[in-house]
Amino acid sequence: MTSSNNSPALSSAKFPHGDFLDCPTGLVEFYFEEGVFHWSEGLYRIYGYEPGDVVPSMDMALAHIEPADRPVVQAYWDRVSSVGGPSSIYVSIRDRKDRQHKLLYSADYILEGGVPVGVWGVVVDLTQSIHSDRHQLATEAVAASALNRAVIEQAKGVLMGRLGITADRAYELMSQQSQEINRKVYAIAHEIVERATRR
């Protein structure tokens, strides 16, 4: 891949493993005069290729982009090529093996002596990050749900013991209070358990 004094350089800094999600990243450069795209090895791999497998071009890249995103991506590239950036866009692609990737493109002019001579861009594959975030949110939601259910069951037990009522009736009482004061049932259950514990 060619380089210029204003295009990004990959950092060689080492990060502690596990402190970050390894989001694959690639770089692209396009010089107006030569009209050729230069891809980094990382960008080839995001698309499922090895360097030399294909000749990078706008048509080739667009063929991998989800059909609904293609006009937006073409308009984005035309805009950055005309007025520069920095500017970013979020798109979905299908790699060589038809696996979907969620990518963030950020691009700006390549400048030489203050004059735009091309466009450089960085491409970040956010697929793993999005999957991990969703998995974490789902795990936290399940854990919270289990905790809430446990508190509600404890509160039902408190009411059953104090009022001599059934489990169903205990839940009905909490549900009624929830509607009357516009608070969640688990919040009311938590208060009941807290009061019982203090006593």
pLDDT tens column, 109-141:
888 888 999 998 888 888 876 555 555 555 655
Axis-axis angle for helices 167-181, 185-198 (nearest 10): 110
Cβ-based neighbour number of residue 61 at 10 Å:
21
- CATH number assigned to the domain covering 136-198: 1.10.10.10
Give the fold, CATH level 3, of 25-125: Beta-Lactamase (3.30.450)
- Judged on CB neighbours under 10 Å (0-12, 13-18, 19+), 25 is middle
pLDDT confidence of residue 156 = 84
What is the distance between the terminal CA atoms of the chain, rounded to a whole angstrom?
A: 72
pLDDT confidence of residue 69 = 86
pLDDT confidence of residue 7 = 44
Residue 72 and residue 66: Cα distance in Å, rounded?
Answer: 11
Residue 105 and residue 122: Cα distance in Å, rounded?
Answer: 6
14-23: long-range pairs with CB below 8 Å, 24+: 21/128, 21/129, 21/132, 22/128, 23/124, 23/125, 23/126, 23/128, 23/129
What residue ranges of the chain are covered by domains with CATH 1.10.10.10?
A: 136-198
Axis-axis angle for helices 185-198, 127-163 (nearest 10): 50
Mean pLDDT by 10 residues, the chain (199 residues): 42 40 79 90 89 89 89 89 84 87 85 89 78 56 65 83 85 86 84 79
pLDDT confidence of residue 117 = 92
Helix (H) and strand (E) counts for the chain?
6, 5
What residue ranges of the chain are covered by domains with CATH 3.30.450.20?
A: 25-125
> pTM of the predicted model, to two decimals?
0.52
